[in-house]
Amino acid sequence: MKKERVVIIGSGPAGLASALYTARAQLNPVVIVGPQLGGQAAITSEVENYPGFPGGLSGPDLVDKMKEHAESFGAEFVYDIVESVDFTNGSPFRVKTMMEEYSADAVIVTIGADPRKLGVAGEIEGVGKGVSYCGTCDGFFFRGREIVVVGGGDSALEEAIFLTRFASKVTVIHRRDEFRAGVQLQKRAFDNEKIDIIWDTVVEDVQFGDDGQVNAVGLKNVKTDDTSTFPTEGVFIFIGHIPNSPIFGDQLAMNERGYIITDDRMRTSVEGVFAAGEIQDEIWRQVATSVGQGTSAAMQAIHWLEEHEEDLQPLDETPEPAGD
Ligand code: NAP
């Protein structure tokens, strides 16, 4: 078992910021990268709203720069996936990955949430070619174009309204004949002249033109079973997110949707375990906000470790695994 002061689970912007700050505090954090270095940021084609980069840069480039920055202060990145954790006995915590087992004095959880997918043909291959899960990230690229928004919750309507700043027309496609979104948002959507609504309809596939870009969606009315092709250049999907929290089971307090509950200092329900980014934030979901939360979590972890300095075992004394 490897003994570490800080283990960071996840390598999105929150994890990368936590890595930088804890590394700079000379804690030599270990970052368990997970399935995708950079998380959702790594699949964002263009990030134009991260401060300090006028003209923007690609998600992968930003992730590489953040990783390099954290490594320059001593963060270690391990390409591995966390299988289970044991927070039940307090610090030091057990973190078991596919290849290793760690004992960590403090843990920062930045494992993110994934946009729920429609699961239709063309959806995944359309990412970067017209399919998007983030209006703030990609709306700008659809100036003057006609796009569709899929979903009927607060996110779908909020993003549809936001996207009317760019698109010439936004057609919301919802599977029922009433929205789940709050009434105020509904009123704003109904009052917006650029927004049309198609009720009782699901997207069956995403279609592409000869240039490889999205040019239509296949639709089906769930009441009549009528099918049709709806031309569009952009497909924005907002049908909820799925937080990557199941590995924590009941060890961390979560809300009813599976997001980890943190206080204003990014502390979870377990002392010494902190969380940042989209695993605990259902609302903002920006690279910049995740970086801020990751920074706060790291600073709080640094404070917490300082406060408990006398209780910490030296890093060269590896505790034996309990019960095995
Ligand atoms: P949500 O409330 O779960 O809504 C998801 C929407 O997508 C629902 O309309 C649902 O349809 C639809 N949907 C789900 N799966 C689908 C599928 N496979 N195919 C087609 N449609 C599908 O998710 P959300 O809008 O992301 O909101 C999440 C939470 O954040 C909510 O509590 C929300 O209130 C909150 N939030 C608040 C604000 C705000 O206050 N400004 C903004 C954003 C989010 P059905 O309605 O038929 O189930």
| Interval 164-216: pLDDT, tens | 999 999 999 999 999 999 999 999 999 999 999 999 999 999 999 999 999 99
pLDDT of residue 45: 67
Instruction: Assess whether 170 and 87 both reside in one domain.
Output: no
Cα separation of 12 and 296, whole Å? Answer: 15
Q: How many degrees, rounded to 5, is the angle at CA 322 between CA 280 and CA 319? A: 85
> Are 247 and 109 members of one domain?
yes
Residue 232: other Cβ atoms inside 10 A: 24
Up-side HSE of residue 136: CA atoms within 13 Å toward CB?
12
- Within a domain: 316: no
Final residue of a domain: which of 207, 237, 267?
237
- For ligand 1, say whether the CB of 239 is within 6 Å of any of its atoms: yes
**Whether residue 104 sits in one domain with residue 91:** yes
Count of domains forming the chain: 2
Residue 199 and residue 108 in one domain: no
pLDDT, residue 5, reads: 97
Does a structural domain hold residue 322?
A: no
Residue ending a domain, among 210, 237, 264, is: 237
Task: Return d(Cα 90, Cα 41) in angstroms, integer.
Answer: 32
**Structural domain includes residue 95:** yes
Rounded to whole angstroms, the Cα distance separating 272 from 249 reads 17
Q: What is the pLDDT of residues 66-89, one digit of tens each?
A: 999 999 999 999 999 999 999 999
Provide the 10 A C-beta neighbour count for residue 219. 18
Tell me: do 152 and 171 sit in the same domain. Answer: yes
Crossing angle of helices 154-163 and 183-191, in 10° steps, is: 30
**317 is a domain residue:** no
Nearest Cα neighbor of 23 from 91, 71, 80 is 71
Domain membership of residue 196 (yes or no) is yes
For residue 268, the model assigns a pLDDT of 98
> Rounded distance, CA 149 to CA 130, Å?
12
Q: Examine the fold and report which residue of 188, 219, 237 is the final residue of a domain before the chain moves on.
A: 237
Rg (CA), the chain: 22
CA 39, 73, 97, 15 torsion: positive or negative? negative
- % of the chain surpassing 70 pLDDT: 97
Regarding whether 94 and 43 lie in a shared domain, the answer is yes
- Is residue 281 within 8 A of residue 290, CB to CB? The reply is yes
Whose Cα sits closest to atom 17 in ligand 1?
A: 118
Whether 240 is in the pocket of ligand 1, judged by its Cβ within 6 Å, is: yes
63: left (phi over 0), alpha (psi -120 to 50) or beta: alpha
**CATH classification at residue 93:** 3.50.50.60
Catalytic residues: 134, 137-138
Residue 146 lies in a domain: yes
Q: Are 6 and 104 found together in one domain?
A: yes
Reported as a pLDDT band with limits 50, 70 and 90, residue 321 is: low
The residue length of the chain stands at: 324
247/170 same-domain check: no
Q: Are residues 110 and 139 in the same domain?
A: no
- For ligand 1, say whether the CB of 152 is within 6 Å of any of its atoms: yes
Given a contact cutoff of 8 angstroms between Cβ atoms, the answer to whether 156 and 245 are in contact is: no
Taking the centre of ligand 1 as the mean of its atom positions, its distance from the CA of residue 114, in whole angstroms, is 14
Nearest residue (by CA) to ligand 1, atom 23, is 240
Give per-residue pLDDT as tens, 138-177. Answer: 899 999 999 999 999 998 999 999 999 999 999 999 999 9
Question: 46-64, pLDDT tens digit by residue?
Answer: 788 899 999 989 888 999 9
- Residue located nearest, by CA, to atom 19 of ligand 1: 118
Q: Is the CB of 258 under 6 A from ligand 1?
A: no
Q: pLDDT of 13-28, one tens digit each?
A: 999 999 999 999 999 9
Residue 240 Cα to ligand 1 middle (Å): 5
The tokens describing 236, both together, are 């924005």
Rounded distance from Cα 289 to ligand 1 centre (Å)? 21
Across the chain, what does the average pLDDT equal?
95
238: CA distance to ligand 1 center in Å? 7
Strand partners for 229: 218
- pLDDT category, 319, cuts 50, 70, 90? low
* Structural domain for 266, as ranges: 2-114+241-311
Q: Are 12 and 40 in contact (CB under 8 A)?
A: yes
Do residue 141 and residue 106 come from a single domain?
no
Same domain for 223 and 149: yes
Q: What is the pLDDT of residue 318?
A: 52
**What is the rounded CA–CA span in Å between residue 186 and residue 174?**
13
- For residue 282, the ligand 1 atom closest to its alpha carbon is 30
Q: Is residue 263 part of a domain?
A: yes
212 alpha carbon to ligand 1 midpoint, in Å?
30
pLDDT of residue 129: 96
> Is residue 72 in some structural domain?
yes
The 3-class secondary structure across 168-201, one letter per residue, is CEEEEECCCCCCCCCHHHHHHHHHCCCEEEECCE
Q: Give the atom of ligand 1 at the shortest distance from the alpha carbon of 202.
A: 20
248 and 216 share one domain: no
